[in-house]
Every structure is written in C-alpha cells, then in structure tokens.
Structure 1
Amino acid sequence: MSQFDSVSVVKKANVYFDGKCVSHTVQFADGTKKTVGVILPSSLVFNTGAPEVMEGVGGSCRVRLKGQDGKFGEWKTYGEGQSFDVPGNSSFEIACDEPYHYVCHFG
C-alpha cells in the first residue's frame, strides 16, 4: 500500500534528535495510529513504550535491538519493503547512511 486513505494527520511534526528524525502522526477511524517519517543519515537510539513494527518505504538502515540482558544484539540491514519488530519497553539503535523513509505501526 503506497498511501493511507480516510485518515486524520496531525499537522505539527514530531521532531527528534535535532531534526535527524521527523515524522507525522496519522490517526485512523478505528482508533489506531501510525507515524510516517524519515530518518536522515545518523546513528540514533530510540526507546519504546508499546511494541512497534517499523516498515521501510524508502532507503535502507541497519538496526540492532537491545536484548533482555541489556546489551545490543547484532546489526541487521533492512530496506524498502522490509520491516522489523521492536518489543515494548525496549530500545533499538538505528544507523542510516541515506535518508530512511518509514511507517511506524504501534501496538
């Protein structure tokens, strides 16, 4: 799916890490929400509250998840059309050498 229809979009952007990650919140009629955004070339660590699925829609990235032992695992590469799951109450490091466009699915 290349677009979302019949949604509400929060006009103000979510800006993280001094503008290295910018997204907009998309709200669906059924109450679900997603964010649509871009991560510029950088290496960033994100913390999660709820579980997330990160869907790549452009570019590529390397990701490593923090394990239950508190240590980051091995790097894995993801590109357009690929996704990765992040557990709730966890964190992940993402490294991008090019702009990485994504949809973050919550819950």
Structure 2
Amino acid sequence: MISENIYFDGNVKSLGYETVEGKSTIGIINPGEYEFGTAQKEIMNIVEGELSAMLPNQKEWQIFSAGTSFEVPANSSFKVKKEIQTAYLCQYR
C-alpha cells in the first residue's frame, strides 16, 4: 500500500511505502524552514538538491547535498531549511 503525506500547507509532500527493512517515504521539500518530530530513528538520504539541518543536541546548521545522509534518533526533533526544492528518501528504523 502506498500512502500520501502532506505537511506544512503542502510544502512537504511524500509517498510512504513498506519494505522488508521497515517503513520509508520518498518526497519533496519546497524552500522554507520546517521542524519535524521523530517517533522512530530516521535516516534522511538527500536524493537531489541540498538542505541545511539543525540536528538534536547541535548548535550549528549542517549542509547536506545530494548523495549524503544524516540520522535522527527516535523521540526527538530536527529542523531543516532550504532555498531550493530538494528530494529525499527517509527510512524509519
């Protein structure tokens, strides 16, 4: 089953699906700044574009480009900001 997710007035959209490893979503983030909460560990893979992320317990923004990824622990939150549309794959583990 494929699920559709829409956040922040349509500025973040994704399609969710299940694999043998667990749930994943693939989506697009429009320019802007957004904060996400996590229930599970998340692995964010940047597919195309670039974004800045403020990860838990960090004091500075980090830039992630296409081909890079970052992890966010369960039960936390993180912020992203960007100036161009960015495609991502988020794996929930």
TM superposition score normalised by structure 2: 0.93
Q: Would you say the 8 A contact 2:35–2:80 is kept in 1? A: yes
Runs of 4 or more, structure 1, over 2 Å off, are none
Q: CA RMSD for the aligned pairs?
A: 1.3
Mapped contact 2:49–2:65 kept (Cα < 8 A): yes
* Aligned counterpart for 2:12 among listed residues 21, 24, 28: 21
Q: 1:19-98 residue pairs with structure 2 within 5 A?
A: 19-28=10-19, 30=20, 32-67=22-57, 73-98=59-84
SS at match of 1:34: strand
- Residue 93 of structure 1 aligns to a residue in which SS? strand
TM-score, length-normalised on structure 1? 0.82
Mind listing any 5+ residue stretches in structure 2 that lack a counterpart? Answer: none
Percent identity among equivalent residues? Answer: 33
Higher relative contact order (CA 8 A, sep 6+): 2
> Which structure shows the higher strand fraction?
2
Equivalenced residues, count: 93
State which structure, 1 or 2, has the greater radius of gyration over its C-alpha atoms. 1
